[in-house]
């Protein structure tokens, strides 16, 4: 899922920095207004959890990797805007310190994993849950939020890689950056995630959700009426 340097053209990574930057700005403003003292340790733990779970990478064709992210459970428990900050911090540290993901691709990687996934996961949870208080329904909503969020993130990554031969090619048609078209990147990323890693993400999301639902249900942001 981490796109390295050299795979995205400036025509892609510059706009992605701009788009993701607007989400960073909005997220920081919302956290400054609404993050309670009680939630600060959870924000720290969310970043640490996301960092750890992303360390288990499986290489896939197309110049990237498949791995769980942890953004879904952060979005459900603390809200999608909190997840934007928590996961972005992890991705930036990974790129700058560990070389996991390119520096030029920070905007794109953060958009895919710290913007797309949290918001898709949050709204899938809300949609599946409805107004039900059933543990089975809530568990299904949590699992599907993790599964769908990660799949959406993988698809966004695949599209960014797959359009490179279209947006950045030499006069002779040779790709200057990622060489694989959408017909390769989309199946590679989607199939590589949906039959294994998305299931892991869904299970982790469900198990952690059930723990907090049992021990600290008032923490769960998705139960609140606040609009993200």
Average pLDDT over residues 200-228: 87
Q: Quick one: pLDDT at residue 64? A: 63
User: Does an H or E element contain 135, and which?
Assistant: helix 135-162
**CB distance 49 to 70 below 8 Å:** yes
Confidence label for 60 from pLDDT (cuts 50, 70 and 90): low
> For residue 52, what is the DSSP state?
H
pLDDT(227) > 60? no
pLDDT(10) > 70? yes
Better pLDDT: 228 or 159: 159
**CB distance 45 to 73 below 8 Å:** no
- Pick from 213, 5, 215: nearest CA to 109: 5
Q: Quick one: pLDDT at residue 63? A: 56
Residues 6+ apart with CB under 8 A from 72: 117, 118, 121, 125, 142, 145, 146, 149, 150, 201, 202, 205
Confidence label for 196 from pLDDT (cuts 50, 70 and 90): confident
**CB distance 69 to 87 below 8 Å:** yes
Over residues 102-131, the pLDDT tens digits come to: 999 999 999 999 999 999 999 999 999 998
| pTM, entire model | 0.92
Output the CA–CA distances (angstroms, integers) from residue 134 to 68, 126, 139, 184, 195, in the order listed. Answer: 27, 14, 8, 41, 27
Average pLDDT over residues 156-184: 94
How many of the other CB atoms lie within 10 Å of CB of 36? Answer: 8
């Amino acid at each position: 899922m981490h796109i390295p340097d050299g795979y995205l053209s400036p025509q892609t990574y510059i706009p992605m920095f701009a788009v993701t930057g607007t989400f960073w700005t909005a997220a920081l403003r919302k956290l400054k207004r609404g993050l309670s003292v009680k939630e600060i340790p959870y924000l720290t733990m969310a970043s640490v959890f996301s960092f750890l779970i992303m360390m288990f990478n499986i290489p896939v064709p197309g110049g990237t990797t498949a791995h769980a992210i942890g953004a879904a459970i952060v979005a459900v428990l603390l809200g999608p805007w909190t997840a934007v900050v928590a996961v972005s911090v992890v991705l930036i540290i990974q790129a700058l310190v560990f070389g996991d993901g390119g520096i030029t691709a920070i905007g794109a990687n953060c958009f895919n994993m710290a913007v797309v996934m949290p918001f898709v996961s949050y709204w899938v949870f809300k949609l599946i849950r409805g107004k039900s208080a059933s543990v089975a329904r809530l568990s299904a909503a949590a699992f599907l939020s993790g599964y769908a969020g990660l799949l959406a993130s993988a698809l966004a990554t695949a599209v960014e890689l797959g359009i490179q031969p279209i947006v950045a090619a030499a006069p002779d048609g040779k790709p200057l950056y990622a060489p694989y078209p959408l017909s390769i990147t989309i199946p590679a990323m989607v199939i590589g995630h949906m039959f294994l890693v998305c299931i892991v993400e869904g299970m982790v999301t469900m198990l952690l959700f059930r723990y907090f639902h049992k021990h600290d249900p008032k923490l769960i942001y998705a139960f609140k009426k606040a609009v993200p």
